[in-house]
Structure 1
Amino acid sequence: MTVQTSSAAVRVAGETVLLLPEKALYWPGEKMLIVADIHFGKAAAFRALGVPVPRGTTTENLLGLDALIDAHGARHIVFLGDFLHARAAHASATQLAMLAWRERRSDLQLTLVRGNHDRHAGDPAASLRIDLVDEPHALGPFAFCHHPDLDTSGYALAGHIHPVYVLATRFDALRLPCFVVGQERMILPSFGAFTGGHAIRPEPGDSIYVTSGEAVHCVR
């Protein structure tokens, strides 16, 4: 059974982009999928330290990318930093899964804007054929970044903080991944499985779009 999802279209820097329930951004004008903080190999890094965490997060991340590529016809993916979590992400099982995926998606253009974890983990394998750039990376009206607080000449698209927003009642509270859409920058939620989140306090002028996994809703 296919689950129908509902995105939210917003206008920033003169371009219409789609906030996707799967915690990614799609720029239709460039057929570009934009993903923040996928953290390949995070579970492997924890297991290397003796922490018993679930396996399969790399496969889950890759299947998530596949679903979005097929749904939207993306030709280019830009990763907004923290592609690899740590040096343990270079482990053979993780690398083999990523290389097999890359062979299936050989026509896809991939760009990585290096983040703080990438500096510690090292660059991805050359065989993945990923264009490596530093922040801010300018393209059209946008500045592709990892950190959201950089001074940029374009509208910044960033990640890093894994934003979540708390919806609360008198009796319960719910933490949902969110997009933080401001006048000069947008912060994307973390795409990766097993990455957690940081509850944010919106700044004046920020709009908050939460995702349930099936739909995106503006709550502020």
Structure 2
Amino acid sequence: MTEVVVAGERLLLLPEKAVYWPAEAMLIIADIHFGKAASFRAQGIPVPRGTTTENLLGLDALVRQHGARHVMFLGDFLHARAAHASSTQGAMLAWRHTRPELRLTLVRGNHDRHAGDPAAALGIELVDEPHAVGPFAFCHHPDLDTGGYALAGHVHPAWVLATRFDALRLPCFVVGSQRMILPSFGSFTGGHVVTREAGDTIFVTSGEAVHAIR
């Protein structure tokens, strides 16, 4: 993991494409897109199964590893209405029953508005952007005018590392003076290659380590 200090607070950029805020024991997740594969299958497009389980296992491992007491989802928790399929919902509810004490908050994103709110049985606090906690404004969209340092998703940022002979595209964190954009946490969500704006530092993740691109 890599530590950054923004808005006077220490944040950990995790190789697993998430952020941990130690002072609040908060795990911050962007764009998990539960049910995306199910949405494709509902349209007759053959895609692998198991992405919901993979997402839940990854999320649970981070909660356990860091002792998180609160998970903040920065939008696009559900991908589409097909995410309400019984198999997807059943897996999420089974996981929730193992973590009843864990506080969950969802800042609604554009996909959430189309998919509809998650099942009430998941016990998720639903809020709109920007959602202020301490010095931070938790958002889905990174271009909002907020009253605090923005932590956002939506873009699924990626960075290309290239040599004369090869190139590799990796998920990345984009850390600027007024906002941070997190990579997409979810499996099967892809990435969008970003350009660095003035004042930004790019942190790429290989899945095992986070490295700054100066």
- Whether the TM-score (by the shorter chain) exceeds 0.5 is yes
Residue of structure 1 aligned with 2:124, choices 130, 133, 137? 130
For residues 129-186 of structure 1, the C-alpha deviation after alignment (integer angstroms, 9 at most, x for no partner) is 0000000000000000000000001000000000000001111100000000000000
1:13 CA displacement: 0.2
SS in structure 1 at match of 2:184 = coil
1:99 CA displacement: 0.3
Aligned length: 214
What is the aligned partner in structure 1 of residue 69 from structure 2?
75
1:38 CA displacement: 0.1
Residue of structure 2 aligned with 1:17, choices 6, 11, 16? 11
Q: Following the alignment from structure 2 to structure 1, what is the Cα–Cα distance between the partners of residues 63 and 109?
A: 23
Alignment root-mean-square deviation, CA = 0.3
Answering whether residue 52 of structure 2 is matched by residue 50 of structure 1, we say no
For residues 36-93 of structure 1, the C-alpha deviation after alignment (integer angstroms, 9 at most, x for no partner) is 0000000000000010000000000000011101110000000000000000000000
Residue of structure 2 aligned with 1:121, choices 112, 115, 124? 115
What is the aligned partner in structure 1 of residue 169 from structure 2?
175
Code of the residue aligned with 2:172 in structure 1: it is C
What is the aligned partner in structure 2 of residue 194 from structure 1?
188
Q: TM-score, normalised by structure 2?
A: 1.00
Residue of structure 2 aligned with 1:35, choices 23, 29, 44? 29
Gap regions ≥5 residues in structure 1: 1-6
Code of the residue aligned with 1:81 in structure 2: it is G
Code of the residue aligned with 2:158 in structure 1: it is V
SS in structure 1 at match of 2:88 = helix
SS in structure 2 at match of 1:179 = strand
What is the aligned partner in structure 2 of residue 3 from structure 1?
none
SS in structure 2 at match of 1:143 = strand
Q: Following the alignment from structure 2 to structure 1, what is the Cα–Cα distance between the partners of residues 79 and 60?
A: 21
Q: Following the alignment from structure 1 to structure 2, what is the Cα–Cα distance between the partners of residues 186 and 50?
A: 36
Q: Following the alignment from structure 2 to structure 1, what is the Cα–Cα distance between the partners of residues 53 and 211?
A: 28
Q: Following the alignment from structure 1 to structure 2, what is the Cα–Cα distance between the partners of residues 74 and 126?
A: 22
Gap regions ≥5 residues in structure 2: none
Answering whether residue 210 of structure 2 is matched by residue 211 of structure 1, we say no
Q: Following the alignment from structure 1 to structure 2, what is the Cα–Cα distance between the partners of residues 202 and 59?
A: 34
SS in structure 1 at match of 2:190 = coil
Residue of structure 2 aligned with 1:88, choices 68, 77, 82? 82
Q: TM-score, normalised by structure 1?
A: 0.97
The percentage of aligned residue pairs carrying the same residue is 79
